[in-house]
Amino acid sequence: MEGGPLLRIENLVLGLKGRSYPLVGPVSLAVDRGEIFGLVGESGCGKSLTGLACLGLFPPAVTPLSGRVLIGGDDLLALSENERRFFRGRRVALVFQEPLSALNPVLTVGHQVEEVLRLHRGLSGTAAREETLRLFSEVGLPDPETRLRNYPHELSGGMRQRVMIAMALAGNPDLLVADEPTTALDVTVQAQILALLLELRKRRGLAVLFISHDLTVIREVADRVAVMYAGEIVELAPRESLFAHPSHPYTRALLEAFPRLGVRQLRALPGQVPPPGHWPAGCRFAPRCPEKVPACEKEHPAMKALSAEHAVRCLRR
Amino acid sequence: MKVLELKGVSKSYRLRRFWGRGAELTVLREIDLTLHRNEVLGLVGESGCGKSTLARLALALERPDRGEMRFLGEPFWELPGRRRKSLRPGLQAVFQDPAASLNPRHKIEALITEPLRLQGVPRTEARERAAEMCRLVGLPEEVLSCFPHQLSGGQRQRVALARALIPEPAVVVLDEPTSALDVSVQAQILNLLVDLQKRFGMSYLFISHDLPVVLYLSHRVAVMYLGEIVELGPREVFFSGPLHPYTEALLAAIPGEGRSVKPLRGDPPSLLRRPPGCVFHPRCPEAGALCHREKPPLREISPGHLVACHKR
């Protein structure tokens, strides 16, 4: 278990129950200890389903068709629901986009964190209260004593997200799956939460699978980045390498479509992402690609290594 | 020429309580804002700063408590009802979520031609103009017989835009028009907005929480904090400065620009607990004694560039 990656997803394919076509995949990626791994893509590309699969969670209509999700050495998909439950919270924890809908509105936030401590670490009474206070100060909640007795609606969006992070940390996980954790927040608050995640990584050696549609946020925090398009990873690279030499035409298009300071002309990508079941047989990006050649429509490209750590799924590279 | 003017506009709401009347919530305080012909004026601020309330006042959906709203040189709320009604087609809006602003039971043709039918334009002519409008906003003509749920988010926002433009408005208020869209679609819509504005010469009031988006589109930008305008200037000043400390914090918080600035402390305060003195002083790294006491006026520090700060 030591030395290998913390999380390894191998050829994961997810599908809808009763349909023959895949919804996501095949996806392969690995997250190391203490690493912030950015997973970026537009809505419907499969990034959130991939994130949920890391906890062995699937929405009711979704089912894994093939592949493995390895935490340490254990394949989550081969385990029973009861065995999977052991991993959730203790090995892998989840932070959602919208803390207001993830928190119970009729219980105090202190109670909700204590509940997690009771479930995962068997703490109760004073021990649970003290550990909650410690977690609240660790995530930078001001005045933790008062916060214990607050209900979610009494907190600001930024404070609620800090509570969610405290709750996720309560089981001492090695990996945090953060699905758009700052998308619902104001920019100044977003900057605070990103700084907090970086600090937690440094202090606890926490690994984060950071899922976002926003390349600029990913650029701020991630060590390595995977870009997803139509259910598969099209480019995988360390942050510096990806932003200095974006190699897949889709990655380039995403970067050029983002309004950055001082940019006078945005280059918009024509067309739309093909929905699952309508993926082209060749390269899934070919219909929108400015660089496509006839071969792109026939052959589905494999990931090709450009350097030791930079890989891209494009026939023309 | 000034098409829309807000002069010393304030707006408060009374909170409802179970027993009796609740506290008064001042959402906008003495706002002065002018929109010129052919201009894109950006309005940026974080949630709860009052930018959407300002949009409602600019659209004449709400009447200000104090101050004046002038549209095409006329004091809108002083005019007789009939005249007000005849001016309204000149003020149009596009909102954030096109799925919520388009009636799901109406076909796209009915949605786009509704403003024309209200004006009594005959059906065949309205249909022709709708088809023309579709072409302008980049929609195939076939969508006219579709329902909103059959279209993608980007296409729905194009429909909302077509509907706003068909009465040939003088002012279009765009309230977070691309916030619900994916990045590549957002770029399509932003470029379309720029093209249409150049082509028709109407004015935009472009409202967003996203400073890079606002700076991309706007000629001038106003920064709001807690119901007040703290800075107003041509877009160029936002790249050169000097700027209000809040604007600096907003710029520094933009991710991915490679700057490592300490994030601003705290959250924006509630409108119910508006700080005395400068509204920004509890979070301001430069606040001094004067900032705690006295509200800084919006002063012109260079031509066309106004800042409300004691330290600038």
Residue A256: give its domain's CATH number.
Answer: 3.40.50.300
Non-local (6+) Cβ contacts of B19 within 8 A are: none
Tokens 């914090």 identify what position? B249
Q: What is the pLDDT of residue B260?
A: 54
Architecture of domain B2-300: 3-Layer(aba) Sandwich (3.40)
Torsional sign, CA B286, B290, B295, B296: negative
Single-letter code of the amino acid located at A209: L
Q: Report ipTM for this prediction.
A: 0.75
Residue A34 within a domain: yes
Q: Is residue A146 part of a domain?
A: no
B256 touching A, CB under 8 A? yes
Residue A112 lies in a domain: no
Contacts of A160 in chain B (CB under 8 A): none
The shortest CB-CB distance from B46 to any of A186, A256, A259 is to: A186
Put simply, the answer to whether A268 touches B46 (Cβ < 8 Å) is: no
Q: How near does any CA of chain A get to the CA of B221, in Å?
A: 14
* 3-state SS class at A183: coil
Residues of A in Cβ contact (< 8 Å) with B46: 186-189
Q: Name the pairing type of β-strands B171-175 and B91-94.
A: parallel
* Interface with B, mutate which of A48, A218, A227, A266 (most B CBs under 10 A): A266
Select the residue from B96, B97, B150, B184 to test the A interface by mutation, using most A Cβ atoms within 10 A. B184
Question: How many distinct structural domains can be found in chain A?
Answer: 1
Q: Which two tokens stand for residue A313?
A: 């799924």
| Run of H or E residues at A234 | strand A232-238
Residue in B70, B90, B73 with CA at minimum distance from that of residue B168: B90
The DSSP symbol for B263 reads P
Helix (H) or strand (E) holding A67: strand A62-71
Q: B270-298 pLDDT, tens per residue?
A: 777 788 899 999 888 888 899 999 999 99
Measured CA to CA, the distance from residue B209 to residue B254 in angstroms comes to 11
- A137: distance to nearest CA of chain B, Å? 15
Whether chain B has a CB inside 8 Å of the CB on A244: the answer is: no
For residue A1, what pLDDT is reported?
44
Tell me, rounded to whole angstroms, the distance of Cα A70 from its chain centroid.
16
pLDDT for B34 equals 94
Each domain of chain B, given as residue ranges in start order, spans 2-300
How close, in Å, is residue A303 to chain B by CA atoms? 23
Contacts of B185 in chain A (CB under 8 A): 272
Low-confidence stretches of chain A (pLDDT < 50) are: 1
Number of H helices, E strands in chain A: 11, 12
Q: Nearest-CA distance from B281 to chain A in Å? A: 15
pLDDT digits (tens, 9 = 90+) for B51-79: 889 999 999 999 999 999 999 999 999 99
User: What size, in residues, is chain B?
Assistant: 312
User: Hunting for tokens 């918080």 — which residue is that?
Assistant: B253
d(CA A168, CA A37): 17
Give the Cα separation of B252 and A192 in Å (integer). 12
Q: DSSP label at A232?
A: E
Q: With a CB-CB cutoff of 8 Å, which residues 62-101 of chain A face chain B?
A: none
**pLDDT value at B119 more than 90:** no
**pLDDT over 80 at B259, yes or no:** no
Contact criterion met (CB below 8 Å) for A288 and A296: no
Count CB-CB contacts under 10 A for residue B84: 15
Is B254–A192 a contact, with Cβ atoms under 8 angstroms apart?
Answer: no
Pairwise CA distance, residues B197 & B38, whole Å: 8
What residue in A sits closest to B258 (Cα-Cα)?
Answer: A220
Are the beta carbons of A216 and B239 separated by less than 8 Å? Answer: no
User: Could you give the dihedral angle defined by the CA atoms of residues B239, B243, B244 and B247, in that order, rounded to the nearest 10 degrees?
Assistant: 10
Q: What pLDDT score does A3 carry? A: 62
Picking from B205, B217, B199, B215, the residue whose alpha carbon sits closest to that of residue B174 is B205
Tell me the chain B residues in contact with residue A273 when contact means C-beta distances shorter than 8 Å: 182
